[in-house]
Amino acid sequence: MLELDNFRRLVGFGWPGFKSTNLRRQGKGQRARAAAFVAALRNGGPAPIPMEEIMEESRVTIEVAQP
C-alpha cells in the first residue's frame, strides 16, 4: 500500500525495500491545467476538459452529497 501525503511525501507499507521518499516539490497539476486553459483560449482550441465531462462530474458530486 502506498500513502501520498499532501503530494509531498510517499510512504510505502508492505513493499520490501521501499519505506518512503520525499517528493521534490508539491505538484497537484493546477499550473499545467491553467496553462492548458490559457493555451486553448489563445489558440481557439477545444477546452482541456470537455463540457460533458464537467457536467457528469458535477452531477455525480451532487448525487453523492444528497442523503
Number of domains composing the chain? 1
- Return the pLDDT at 27: 67
CA–CA gap between residue 27 and residue 45 (Å, rounded): 25
Res 65 pLDDT > 90: yes
Q: Are 11 and 23 in contact (CB under 8 A)?
A: no
User: Band of the pLDDT at 62, cuts 50, 70, 90?
Assistant: very high
Q: Say how far apart CA 39 and CA 46 lie, in whole Å.
A: 10
pLDDT tens by residue, 27-38 = 678 889 999 999
**What residues make up the domain containing 29?**
2-65
pLDDT band for 15, please (50, 70, 90 cuts). confident
Q: Residue range 19-26: average pLDDT?
A: 74
Q: Is the dihedral of CA 48, 26, 2, 16 positive or negative?
A: positive
